[in-house]
Amino acid sequence: MSGGLLVAGTTSDAGKSVLTAGICRWLHRQGVKVAPFKAQNMSNNSAVVVGADGRGGEIGRAQAMQAAACGLAPDLRFNPVLLKPGSDLASQVVLLGEAVDTVTAGTFRELRPRLAQTAYAALAELREAYDVVICEGAGSPAEINLRAGDYVNMGLARHAGLPTIVVGDIDRGGVFASMFGTLALLDPADQALVAGFVINKFRGDLGLLRPGLDMLRQVTGRPTYGVLPWSLDLWLDAEDSLAYGRVLGRPAAPHGTDWLDVAVVRLPRISNATDVEALATEPGVRVRLTVEPAELAAADLVVLPGSKSTVADLAWLRETGLADAVLAHVAAGKPLLGICGGFQMLAREIHDPVESRRGSVAGLGLLPIEITFDPRKTVRQSVGTAGEGVPVRGYEIHHGYVSTADPGLTPLITAADGTGEGAVLGAIHGTHWHGTFESDEFRRRFLTEVARLAGRHGFRVAPDTAFAAARERSLDLLGDLVEEHLDTDALWRLIESGPPADLPFIPPGAPHL
């Protein structure tokens, strides 16, 4: 067979990514050869994939997570177009893993036909190779001002003949209106592909909701395939840091007598914020994202995460008083971690003719290094060791590199080729590598050192926390939720046979395209 389905949403963060992953895991457990697909993603959270030519490329982090739900290694075709916002007006375009351009809203229109053609070709290849492809939309399919050039939502569904379900987040309120309104704003040909709805993040008495589900069916002629309950255990691999809230996950009680408090600065252009999720899986480690200088003062560890705009976000740190809070934290002898763009901010000087084009600017001056930006982007998976042979795996996505460093500066990691990576100076740690804390032994050694530096002598790492197992549990939970709370028989008929032929048109509908 060559089945397919599009999971659209009433809004961004309605639950498209997790529902797609859940359906993928459910099908995978049924023995179906299934793959995920998102024609175009806009996110600074990305994963590195090694392509057929051996070179590293980028896809959205959510599609890497969905690939894991399918039991697959990530593939560049799973997310052929990735837009990485560098400012409010411009985004870097990553096409089949490779950065090809930087565009504004105006210039994007000129590039869009090429992007659509690439996305359609990637989906066609996947449908040849897999029994089922579960596609994720972007934003809302009812963005009628963008419909003419759409190749991600109903434009994709129309091109590939994909039945579509629309998921809505009931936690935000107004879910029935948003579902009805989404459908009613689509033209007749688009509406003919929308087979029904899924409600996400429900908590309460389902009996109170059922009359609304019945009325929604009456006014739209379409069923609700199920109601997914709210779950606090679904927080790993968030596509957007805004989905996190303030505290990541549900911190388990410490093994020792002390907690570790970790404050992660929520930069305006934060990228790969998922780096700190592995820290949050450890018992007794409380990880929170913040923009408040006062919260840095109370933290044991401060993290400056990755950034798509290092120089601009460094200026924001200074404008908000967060830079002074970081310096005070270091002056008190407490540990600081910089990852990728955050690592670059710790330098004495940053030379950037590429990303910000501001030339040379002063860094925070906490590490005796200088950073220079290169037009060529480093995108690769990396392997090395830390300390006394502790294995570390990670990945790199950056334009900046360490161009000068004081002799004798201790690297944080020794790469497989013997070169030093990152730096350690007293309580200050920095690295360009993302994903290092998914290496369990490295994470435990790092947190033990952080506790010592912060004076948390009663903190003890758990000996058995395995990040890979935590991710698998999360994916299995998604599969369980789909199997237990959705009408999987009806979903299977939809995937196999397409939308029913007698779906009614709901006025007014958008003008026919």
Active site positions, annotated = 340, 434
Q: How far apart are the first and last CA of the chain?
A: 30
Phi, psi of 49 (to 5 degrees): -120, 135
Q: What does each C-alpha distance from 330 to 302, 335, 340, 447 come to in angstroms?
A: 9, 7, 19, 17
Structure tokens at 84: 């990485």
Facing residues of 393 across strands? 383
> How large is the C-alpha radius of gyration of the chain?
23
Residue 504 is given by DSSP the state P
SS3 (DSSP) at 491: helix
- Decide: 258 and 448 in contact? Cβ < 8 Å: no
Using CA of residue 145, residue 151, residue 153, residue 156, what is the dihedral sign? positive
Question: How far is the C-alpha of 45 from the C-alpha of 64, rounded, in Å?
Answer: 11
Facing residues of 382 across strands? 394
Question: How far is the C-alpha of 202 from the C-alpha of 93, rounded, in Å?
Answer: 36
- Decide: 451 and 258 in contact? Cβ < 8 Å: yes
Q: What does each C-alpha distance from 338 to 362, 386, 426 come to in angstroms?
A: 16, 16, 14
